[in-house]
Every structure is written in C-alpha cells, then in structure tokens.
Structure 1
Amino acid sequence: MSADSAMRQVVTDAYAQRRDVWEAAAVRIKAWLKQQQKGLLKDKDISRLDVDGHRIKDPARTLAKLVEKAAEDPGLEITTPREVENHIRDIVGVKVLCKSPRDQTMMFDALRDPQQLGSFVLIDQKNYVDPPKPSGYRACHVTLRIPADQGESVFAEIQVKTRLQDAWGELTHEDMYKPGAAMKPSELHGEFARAMANMLATVDDMADTLAVELSALTNPDLDTELPSEVEDTIEVKVRATGPKYALAVDGDGRQGLIPAFAVRKLSDSKGTIKVSDFVSVDDRLRVTVEEDSKGLYYIPVTLGPTPSPR
C-alpha cells in the first residue's frame, strides 16, 4: 500500500470511529458558547454575538492538509486515528459571528480566560485581524481541548468573526481555494480579495464608531437628569423598539429616539436596561421634545401608554 493510500485509510478510520464523538463535542461547545453569550451581554443586545453553527471538516480536506504536512516533513508518519486529530486540530469547527470588532475582541478575550473555560483547555490562539493573513482573511481563532463522554478528548477550533469578515469568505469564494479544494487563486483573485477585505475592514471600523456614538447618545451617564418641567408635552406613537432605544413618531410625522437613560429613570431601575422591556410597538406616550445638532429625542413623562382616542 502506498504512503498516500495508507494515510487515506487512517483518515477514513478516524472519521468512522470518532465522528459521533466530534458531533457531540460540537453540540457541547455551542451550548457553552451560548452561555458565554448571555454572560457577556447580560441586559444588552444579545444579537451582538451569534453562535452560528458548527461543521465537521470534510475528510478530503483533512487528508489534503495531512499530505501537505507530510510533504513539508518527510519523516512525518500518520498511522492512527488519534494522530490524525493531533495534527489536524480543527476537524471540529464552531463559528461565532459578531456585529462589530469590539464585540469580536470581547469574545476573543473571553475564550482565552481560564476562569471562563472551566473544564475546557486553551491549546492555541491566533489573531488574524491584526495583522490579517496575506489573502486578506480576518478572524480570531481559538483551539480548545474538550473532554469527551466517550474515549479521548476532542480538539475544536472556534472562529470569531465579524459579520463582514464572514461575508468576505462568501464574496471571494474563499472556500474554493483552500487546501484540497478545486481551484488555485490567481493573481487577480488575490488582488481583488485583499482589496475587498480592506474595504470591509474599514466599514467594520466605521460601524464600531457609530455603535459607540449611538450608545453615548442613547445611554449616557447614569446620573443624567431628565427635564424637571413637563408642561409642554406631545403624544408620540412608538414605531420600533430595541435594547438601547425606541423609535417614535409624532403627529407631524417627525421621528425621534426614546433613549435608554430616560426609560431607566422612569423605571427606577439600576444599571443597564432593555428599552423593549418597558416600551412596546404602538404604545402612545406623552413626551417632552429635546433636539440638538445630533438628533431629535422624545423624553417620556411616564412609561404607561396614553389612552387611545375614542
């Protein structure tokens, strides 16, 4: 049997013996990540982090990577299924998508914190954001060792990406150019892919800046005072609501934001709140109007909806 045939058989055996264990480990990791998501975003917009499913690497890709490693190291021998896992530690992969780079950094930090990992063990970490790969690929990778209910532990790679970093892979057909895939990148493909990656990274940074600015405008310091005089009020109707603010419209069709700090003051709550817990779509509220160079704000006088006209 040739060396390549022998390696192909070992890979086949590994997948036959361990796939169920890998799948179980992936389910366990996703459940754990969802707990991390809730803990990191307690009382905040939970959609800032999204556990986006898992994959078991295609056997052909695993074989291609092993063949590549053997070509680089002629003395390398892969004779057991466990050796396959020891050399290819991303057979189990889970992806976390983030709204912005700051959320990506927050998640990456949590995945490297021993106090957060519990029985999981950090094996490796790679930051492909600063600097990115030469191809333009950006992501943060963490490799963990996961205890298994049956047999030996499982290695798993968690990829933490912004939504735009993930979209780059789809837009550039990145999957077509990986080891063992059908195509090899041309010079033109490489130039376009890098340019697109840089443009999307700029948009990511802009989105981060906007998110910080919006947070400052809608959820300022806890000691922010509301207007003391409420004689001049109008009625507005809530059109949309979310964690940080609600959007309302007045009788003249002007739209304004109902900020979190104003809702928090009226609710007598401490710390961060979700506006949507107190303000619902189609609520009619009495508000004062505050307008400055940055926007139009409706400051509720009370949280209870006003009676609808008969």
Structure 2
Amino acid sequence: MSRIVKAGREGAKTVDMNTAEEVEQIYRRRRRVWVDALHQVNSWLERQCAAALDDAQDKHRLEVHEGRIKDERRATAKLLRKFDDDVGDPSSNDLETLIHDLAATKVLCKSTRDQELITQRLADEAARSGSGIRLAERPKHYAREPKPSGYRANHLIFEWDVAGERPAIVEVQIKTRLQDARGELTHENSYKPGSAIQKTPFHDEVALTMANLLAEVDRLADCVADDMEGAIDQANDQASTAPEELARVDLAVTDVVVVNTGPRYALAEDKNGERGLIRAVDVRDLVGESGMIDVDDYVRAEDRLRVAVVNDGEKRFYKPEALAPHSAASDE
C-alpha cells in the first residue's frame, strides 16, 4: 500500500497516485475470497435466525438480505479520506483492516427487541471455539447510542476463515425495517462523500428529525407487540371460561378459513372478513394432549373449520368444534 507523504508549510497531505491501482490489485486478488466468505456468512446468518425464531409465531421477524462487495471506487475514496484523517502509514495497514465493510450484509428485524435478540445471539455463537467465525471487534450498538446524524443499527465485524486464504472480514448490519428505510427516505446515498450533491444543514436537521420519528414508531410497534403477546398468553392460560362470564360471551357458530398459523395460535377469518384467534388451549383439548403443544402441528393455513365465536371484551376467539382431517395424521 502506498505511503502518505506529508508536505507543505501547512502540513497538507498528498497520497501516492498509485493508491487506486493498488486497491484495484487487492480487489483482483481478494474479491473471490470476499464473495465466498459473504455466501458462507449469509448461510450462517440464515441458520442463526431460524434457530432464534424456532418457537416464534412469525418466522419472518428476521430476514437476511443478500450482501454486497463495496464498489471499488468507493473503497478507494474511503481509503483516501482515512489517510486525510491521520489514520497513519498505510504501508503498515491492510485495506481490510482499514475498511471493514468491503464485504457486507444485513439482517432486517421487525422490532428493536428482535434486533437485540439476534445481535446477542450472533455475538455468543461467534465466541464459540471452532466455529470458523470470530468477532474482529466489539459490536457497535448504534441502535442504543445513535450517531449524531440519527443513524441507528447494530454493527458486527466478523473474521471468517477461508480455506487456503487469510480470513476475510465481513460486516453485518442489524437494523429494524424502519432503520433501514431511513437511508432511502433521507436520500442518504445521494450525499456520500465525493458525490456531486453536498449535504446542507437543512438536510441534516430534517434527516435527524425523521430518524427520531422512525425510532418512536419502532418503540410504539414494540408496545403493540408486547400487548398482543400478553393477550395471547392470557388467553392460552385460561383453560375454560368462568360460569359468571358466560352471560357476556357470544357463542355463535360460523365457518372460518385459517389464514396463518404458528406455535402459539392460529389466525382465522370468517366469510365477512372478521378475524379471530384459535387458541392453543382449544386445540390441545380437541386432540386430547396435556401440557404445551404447537398449534401449527395440528392446524394449517387454508384449513376450513366450524367454530364457536367467543367475543370476550376486546378479544375475539374461534373455538373449533373439530380439526381438519390431516390433523390426526400430523406426525406422519
């Protein structure tokens, strides 16, 4: 890598013009390694996300997105900016050490709770010996401590072992969907250093306000999820309705179609578009099991069921009279 040459009475810096050529050579030599590592890291992330959501109702709460290799010109520009910021003598530093996001991917989450959940899980799994992947540095929790711009995300920098090569560095960004949308909504990519369009104080102020508003929406979404999960837990804990409550319970009978199912409940809809939850406790009673069950072992999407309608205050439940025929053979 080229050396920084400091010159001029005001300490101005110039960089050997060979820097771009040397970056090109590094890309030519290492791109295949980065691509291979990126594919392996993404596969590892898919497995970790699936394990984290093993008992979850919604399997799409965590989504691994296809990674990318940083554009070579952007990498060169970023390297030169680091030289200008007194990083030091680049001849003693490796490009991948100076720029961690040459190979990068991301995991999108539906909530900040899931963001912290998967961040901790990935850090813990990487700490296990013999896994072939290691944290190159401590995770950065910008979700808890945002950048001055309002940017929020968790960043994990991993070293991934590649057979016959030096380990590759891969950055994993973990964001909520709204944190990820911030870049699009504020046109952040249009204001990258070196671009034709330069940011103004107005842009910075508005972008920060938008980031804070989106963070508040994330917080409210967590509150809604907590409330819904609490209602489901309470419903599943109630094995039967108390006699004194029967007077205010609507026991009309109707036909419904299951639109979604998971371990804790199924969601069904009647012909009028009214939706209700099928509780685990009601399914358990029908199949004659005791203890905990997974609803999706017995109830599948598109099942057509005859149900009793239970309207209990703010909650609407469908209590099946019987399950679809496949349910009895769910273990086959």
Query: Which is worse superposed, 255-264 or 137-146?
Result: 255-264
Cα distance change on mapping 1:183 and 1:300 into 2, 3 Å: same
1:161 to 148, 172, 175: 175
Aligned to 2:312: 292
Distance 1:272 1:88 in 2: 48
The alpha carbon displacement at 1:3 in A equals 2.7
Q: 1:281 to 1:118 in 2, by over 3 A?
A: same
For 1:42, give the aligned amino acid: D
Distance in 2, Cα, partners of 1:254 & 1:28: 44
Instruction: Give the % identical residues.
Output: 35
RMSD, aligned α-carbons: 2.8
Tell me whether 1:32 sits opposite 2:44 in the alignment.
yes
SS in 2 for 1:263: helix
Aligned to 2:24: 12
Q: Give the letter for the 1:77 counterpart.
A: P
1:213 Cα deviation from its structure 2 partner = 1.6
Q: Does 1:95 align with 2:106?
A: yes
User: Residue 141 of structure 1 contacts residue 160 of structure 1 at CA under 8 Å; is this kept in 2?
Assistant: yes
Aligned equivalent of 1:139, options 153, 176, 190: 153
Please name the residue that 2:254 is paired with.
235
Query: Is the contact between residue 141 and residue 157 of structure 1 (CA under 8 Å) also seen in structure 2?
Result: yes
- C-alpha spacing 1:254/1:93, structure 2 compared with 1 (3 Å): closer
Gaps of 5+ in 1: 306-310
Alignment check: 8 A CA contact 1:219 1:260 kept:
no
1:226 to 237, 240, 246: 240
In the TM superposition, what are the counterparts of 1:147-226 in structure 2 within 5 Å?
147-220=161-234, 223-226=237-240
Aligned residue-pair number:
301
Following superposition, the deviation at residue 266 of structure 1 comes to 3.6
2:7 counterpart residue number = none
- Which sections of structure 2, spanning at least 5 residues, go unmatched? 3-13, 326-332
Maintained 8 Å contact 2:134/2:159: yes
Q: What amino acid is aligned across from residue 59 of structure 2 in structure 1?
A: I
Question: What is the alpha-carbon distance in structure 1 between the residues aligned to residue 221 and residue 87 of structure 2?
Answer: 47
Give the aligned partner of residue 278 of structure 1. 299
Q: What amino acid does structure 2 have at the position aligned with 1:164?
A: L
CA distance in 2, matches of 1:90, 1:158: 8
C-alpha distance 53-43 of structure 1, shift in aligned 2 (>3 A): same
What CA distance in whole angstroms lies between the structure 2 residues aligned with 1:57 and 1:269?
54
In structure 1, what is the equivalent of residue 323 of structure 2?
303
> Paired residue for 2:283?
263
Question: 2:91 and 2:24 mapped to 1: Cα distance?
Answer: 12
1:221 Cα deviation from its structure 2 partner = 7.5
Separation (CA, whole Å) in 1 of partners of 2:32 and 2:215:
37
User: TM-score by structure 2 length?
Assistant: 0.81
Pair member with larger Rg: 2
Deviations 1:16-55 (A, max 9, x none): 1011110000000010011101111103222000001101
**Which SS does the other structure have where 2:135 is aligned?**
strand
Q: In the aligned structure 1, how far is the partner of 2:241 from the partner of 2:187? A: 54
Residues 135 and 53 of structure 1, relative CA distance in 2, 3 Å threshold:
same
Instruction: Specify the SS of the correspondent of 1:303.
Output: coil
- Structure 1 SS opposite 2:94: helix
Taking structure 1 as reference, are residues 171 and 277 closer, same or farther at Cα in structure 2, changes over 3 Å only?
farther
